[in-house]
Structure 1
Amino acid sequence: MTENNSAAPTPDSLDALSYEEAREQLVAVVGRLEAGGASLEESLALWERGEALAKRCEAWLEGARKRLASARDAGNDGGAAATAD
């Protein structure tokens, strides 16, 4: 039953995960689901964990996209002023 407990993360535990940690755990969950042999209850818990991990990864990626866009915009503002002269 300890495996089911690890398959149901709390939001706080997910928030503490880095992108790489969340991705590694997601890959492990997918592997376990693809391997089959889990009970319906365990499969559902794994699916729910996978969904939560995928959302965490998406949040990290969206944050990275915003940071890149912000840096690009800041760079374009400075570059536009320099080329306007």
Structure 2
Amino acid sequence: MAVKKPENLSFEQAMDELATIVTEMEQGDMSLDHALKQFERGIGLANASASKLKQAEQKVAILMSNDPNADVTPFQEAE
């Protein structure tokens, strides 16, 4: 089975996978190379999750503003 890119996972899927990675890394039973790959994957999952959370916060803010004409705009990360 192919590994999905973090941005293609749901928030819940990304958080579950991130929790699994953290648990595996805390056990310390992996090679340095595998640990670095898992760390890199974890960073991607955390960034994708943060982006999805920010988008959800924006949608809630728009809904709470009671402005029926307000548009939801995609979150753009600062570079």
Quickly name the TM-score band, shorter chain normalised: 0.7 to 0.9
Does residue 12 of structure 2 align to residue 23 of structure 1?
A: no
* Separation in 2, partners of 1:15, 1:56: 5
Find the partner of 1:70 among 62, 65, 68.
62
Shift of 1:50: 0.5
List, as ranges, runs of 4+ consecutive aligned residues in structure 1 with deviation greater than 6 Å. Answer: none
Shift of 1:55: 0.5
Deviations 1:1-27 (A, max 9, x none): xxxx95xx6xxx222200000000000
Which structure has the larger Rg?
1
Query: Structure 2 regions of 5+ residues with no counterpart?
Result: 69-79
Question: Which residue number in structure 1 is paired with residue 72 of structure 2?
Answer: none
Question: CA RMSD for the aligned pairs?
Answer: 2.0
* Separation in 2, partners of 1:37, 1:21: 24
Query: Structure 1 regions of 5+ residues with no counterpart?
Result: 79-85
Question: Which residue number in structure 1 is paired with residue 25 of structure 2?
Answer: 33
Shift of 1:40: 0.6
Q: How many pairs were matched up?
A: 67
Deviations 1:12-71 (A, max 9, x none): x22220000000000000011101111110010010010000011101100110001111
Q: Percent identity?
A: 30
Q: TM-score, normalised by structure 2?
A: 0.76
